Amino acid sequence: MSNPESTSATTLHNSRFLKACRREPVDTTPIWIMRQAGRYLPEYMAVRSKVSFIELCKRPDLAAEVTLTAQKVLGVDAAILFADLLPILEPMGLDLEYAKGEGPIIHNPLRTAAEVDRIVEVPDMASLSFVFETVKLVRRDLPADIPLIGFAGAPFTLASYVIEGAGSKNYMATKRLMHSDTGAWQALMERLVSSLVRYLQEQIAAGCQAVQLFDSWAGCLSPTDYRQYVFPYTKAVIDGLPPGVPVINFLTGNPALLRLCRETGGDVIGLDWRVKLSDGWRAVGQDRGVQGNLDPALLLADMKTLRQRTRGVLDAAGGRPGHIFNLGHGVMPETDPEQVKALVQYVHDRGVRR
């Protein structure tokens, strides 16, 4: 008599998405969409209209609902946990608010190196239990062949929020501290690393089959600064995760950093639209998978153009095992959900089968 848990684990292991993470042949190119549960979906907005964004993040029942609905409605090959990069900063000593029309704001940012000691490692992961409970609820109700992706912000991106207090165009406050006091920078980054490793380990233990590390802001750095100030810490996070769980390492905004990004680790390297997929794959090496890399703006184009450019990405991948189709960043709120559904169907229909 077969063990249901063993059968389920085997089904997940042999899923299209996880096989691609391992660079194994698949029947067609797998696809999921960054920010696939978002404001462009009416099903998401129906839930979001009842609660604030942060309440949605902290309500496991609602966060699980929008995670599951997006996967089902779009027909994608993986679900990604509905959560946000920044709530991990609250137990570290930051006063976080999601202001309407302005995005996240930290009211007590780190302004000087002398203040670094008020930023602490997350004392107890129980303070983030709403995330892990969401993972459990989603995994319970996801189809047996659909993996769940957990995620976190990379150390540099989180450090930039801690220092800037909000989004930034030039990251001057972050770079000032980074260059002026390497000891303070190291202390901050090490506390972030320790917290992130534990946070992602807990997501995996709760039921995630893979994780993605988002370095959304590191593209503002030169290769020299990335090597010195970011590389050791991102690598430490990835090295601290359980072997056998695929890691997607996603850095956006600067193709010049791709070779360094590869060196930090990850089974799959995320590519944005600023590089041709074949060139990006060459930069990170054939021994890694790649994810991407359609410009999200193309979902606002006519169907002929969308299909043409999607085919261009698939052709650039060349049918090699290890390609996961995605956007080069998150889907935009203005996007027609029917376009996203059509993209998923087109990739499944035209993905190169090997």
Q: Choose the catalytic residue: 40, 44, 161, 233.
A: 161
Closest by CA to 275, choosing from 313, 303, 310, 307, is 313
111 noted as active-site residue? no
Q: Which of 35, 139, 191, 288 is catalytic?
A: 35
Has 16 been annotated as catalytic?
A: no
Q: Are 77 and 15 in contact (CB under 8 A)?
A: yes
Active site residue 282: no
User: In this structure, what is the dihedral angle of CA atoms 116, 176, 249, 240, given to the nearest 10 degrees?
Assistant: -30
Instruction: Determine which one of 22, 39, 176, 307 is catalytic.
Output: 39
Residues 16, 40, 84, 139: which is the catalytic one? 84
Query: From the centroid of its chain, how far is CA 265?
Result: 15
Q: Is residue 215 classed as helix, strand or coil in its secondary structure? A: strand
98 a catalytic residue = no
How many angstroms separate the CA atoms of 304 and 141, rounded? 36
Q: Among the options 16, 23, 48, 139, which is catalytic?
A: 48
CA angle 115, 123, 149 (to 5 degrees): 105
Are the beta carbons of 33 and 293 closer than 8 angstroms?
no
Pairing of strands 210-215, 148-153: parallel
Instruction: Please report, for residues 84, 118, 146, 161, 162, the alpha-carbon distance to residue 96 in angstroms, rounded to integers and kept in the order given.
Output: 12, 15, 33, 10, 10
Instruction: Give me the residues paired with residue 215 across strands.
Output: 251
Active site residue 309: no
Catalytic annotation, residues? 35, 39, 48, 84, 161
